Structures are given as structure tokens and as C-alpha cells.
A and B are shown apart, each in its own frame.
Chain A
Amino acid sequence: MSTFIGDWHALAILFVAGVIPNQIWRMLGLWFGGGIDENSELLVWVRAVATAILAGIIAQIVVQPPGALASVPDWLRYGAVAAGFVAFMLARKSIFAGVIVGEVVMIAGKYWLG
């Protein structure tokens, strides 16, 4: 057993807990997605649900933060997202501007709070 791989048991768990439950949805999409027209009404709904699920994951990380992010107060996390969004809109929908401003506001705020 090398230190690079570590425990083979952990690798087996990765496949059962992570790889299979994840890949199953891609393969279902591949299997059932055939023959669906890209402009069909069904796809408009499916895309709306995909977007809303992603929005839910974004909200989850900000509202129920993992690990080190939990040490940042709620209002500062929400404020950082809001500031990032303002920058995103002002910079004509620049992802880069939004991310940088959000990060700077949160890190500077946390640094200032100590």
C-alpha cells in the first residue's frame, strides 16, 4: 500500500458513496435524453429545474456554511454576495469582477472583525 493511494478501502468507499450516485444521473441523461429537441418545452422546464437546483446549492453553502466558512458571521457572508452581485452588474456581467469584490469584502470584513 503506497502513501499516494493510501487505504484501498477508502477508494472503494469513494466509488460507492461518490462515483456511482453521481454518475447514475449523467448516464440516465444520456439514456433518456436522446431524441429530445433542444428547443422543446420539456427542456425549458428541465433547464429551469437544473438552474434552481444549482441556486439551491449556492444558497446552501452560504446559508449553512461548511468548515472554515462557518467562522464568518451570517451578515458578512450575505453582504459579500450582495456586494459581489452589484460589482457583477456594474461590470457588465463580469464573473471575475463579482467574485473578486465578493471575496475582498468578505476577507477584509473578517480580517477587520478579527
Chain B
Amino acid sequence: MALPPLDSPQWQTSFRAFLWGARSIGATVLTLVLFATYLGIGALAHDSGFSLGWTLASTAFVWAGPAQIIVITTLGSGATVLQSAIAVTVSAIRLFPMVVSVLPLMRTEQTKRRHLILVAHLTAVTLWVECYRFLPQVPRNRRIAFIHGLGLGLVSVCLIANTIGYTLAANLTPLLAAGMLMLTPLAFLFSTARNCRELADVIALVLGLLLFPLAAMLNSGVDILVSGVVAGTIAYGVHRARAGIVRARA
């Protein structure tokens, strides 16, 4: 599916842009990957003793796969609410830079902060990745509507997947359950790798993978934060050093 050209009358109303956003869920393999991930989350919630309504509420209001998996597994295995909340907080730190980097892509001079609340809520790794791919093809003043359509479309797909996974849970063999859980890291790894735009992104990805097992040895409870900040900062340092060399040559 191709989006209409930037000057097309298709972009004249926000509603049309919303529909183009919603239709764009069919233009990305990540929709399939999300579907499979949320199938797995539905099954996991069922096996951990949560209700279907609870599962759907977690998808609609948390809207972050890793955080949902943490809540379900920690609460399901008897951790305290506080322990669970700390783990989620750490896993969710990545949403801060995602929101910070995504919002400028759709901000115009007329944009008020409240116009961006739903976009901020919908921002998660899939939307973050797709913003960079789709938004250059969308006129700037229609980008918020487009993202509302895309994001709410993705949420709907995941609510359906949750329901199916929850219902199927009883029939999943351990082998297929393992395959289901493996979908998340594979999908996240390759979607992140494909969206590396600069050397800094590549270094951040590779170092982030390699440093996590080292940081985990510290057993600090915030291992992901430690490895993430260290790897990200090293990657940024390389980016700076390289930019310096390029300037020096010029």
C-alpha cells in the first residue's frame, strides 16, 4: 500500500489522514509481529490467573509489551506491588527518549501540548520505528491525525490478539509457547537494526546487547538502565569524535 503524494487532496482533512494512518497497519510486518507478541501476552496472562478484562485493560492503558510482560510475570509469581512497579519504571525509561524524539516530527507552530497527549500515550517501540518510516510521506499538519489512526489501529489489533491468545492458552504446547516468547526479542532486534540511521545507532544497539550481560552481574536491580546509559553514551561519544574528524578534514 502506497500513501498518496504529499500534495494530494487526500490529505485535506484530518479524518482522511486518520483513516490513512489506520490503513497503514496493513503496510508493516511489525503489525504481524505485534499480533504474535500480544497473542503470547494473552496466553501468559491466562496462565498467570488474570482475567480477560484485566489483560485488555493492561494493553489499552500500559501499551508497552515489555512492561506488560513484567507486570504479569512479577505479580503472577507473588512479587509485591512495589517490586513490580520498580521493575516497570526501569523498563519504561526508554519511552522517555522515544517520546522526546518522536514529538518534534509532528509538531507545528499551532500545536499545543494537549494535542500531543494521545500521541505520547501511543508511543511505544513499534510506533517509534514506524514514525521514522511513514511520517516523511505525510504532510506535517496531518501527522498527528495520521499517528492517531496508526496507533489506535495497532492497539485494536493487539486487543484482538490478546483475546485470541487468552482463549487459545489452554491449547498451547510448551514448544509453541517458547516460540511465542522468542518472537518478542527477534522482532525487536531486527526492527531496531533496520532503523539504525547513523553509526551512533548501530553502536548503541550492538553495545547495548553486549553490555547487558555484564551489567546483569552487578545485580543492581536497574541493570538495563546501567547498560543502556553506558552503551548509549559511548555510542554518542563515537558519533561526536567522528563528527570532529570530518570537520577537521573539511
Quote the shortest CB–CB distance from B155 to chain A (angstroms). Answer: 14
List residues 183-231 of chain B with CB under 8 A from any CB of chain A. 183-194, 196, 198, 200-201, 203-213, 215-216, 223-225, 227-231
Residues of B within 8 A of A84 (CB): 186, 189-190
* A51 in contact with B50 given A72-B178, A107-B175 (CB within 8 Å): no
List residues 22-69 of chain B with CB under 8 A from any CB of chain A. 29-30, 32-33, 44, 50-54, 57-58, 61-64, 66-69
**Interface class of chain A by DSSP:** helix
Tell me if B73 counts as interface (CB < 8 A to partner A).
yes
B97 touches A16 (CB 8 A): no
Distance, CA A11 to CA B175, complexed state (A): 31
Which residue of B73, B117, B175, B240 contacts A67 across the interface (Cβ within 8 Å)?
A: B73
Q: How large is the interface on A (under 10, 10 to 19, 20 to 34, 35 or more residues)?
A: 35 or more
Which residue of B69, B98, B191, B206 contacts A50 across the interface (Cβ within 8 Å)?
A: B98
* A26 in contact with B121 given A14-B57, A99-B187 (CB within 8 Å): yes
Tell me if B14 counts as interface (CB < 8 A to partner A).
no
A47 touches B50 (CB 8 A): no
Residues of A within 8 A of B183 (CB): 99, 103
B224 touches A58 (CB 8 A): no
Distance, CA A3 to CA B166, complexed state (A): 14
Chain A: which residue is nearest B83 at the CB level? A17
Chain B: which residue is nearest A80 at the CB level? B182
Tell me if B157 counts as interface (CB < 8 A to partner A).
no
List residues 12-26 of chain A with CB under 8 A from any CB of chain B. 13-26
* A positions within 8 Å CB-CB of B: 2-7, 10-11, 13-34, 36-38, 41, 43-69, 71-72, 77, 80-81, 84-85, 88, 93-96, 98-99, 102-103, 106-107, 110-111
Q: Can you offer 28 A-B residue contacts whose CB atoms are under 8 A?
A: A4-B51, A5-B53, A11-B57, A18-B71, A21-B88, A22-B89, A22-B92, A25-B94, A25-B95, A25-B96, A26-B96, A26-B99, A33-B100, A33-B104, A44-B198, A44-B236, A46-B97, A52-B204, A53-B94, A55-B209, A59-B209, A67-B181, A95-B194, A99-B183, A103-B182, A106-B179, A107-B179, A110-B178
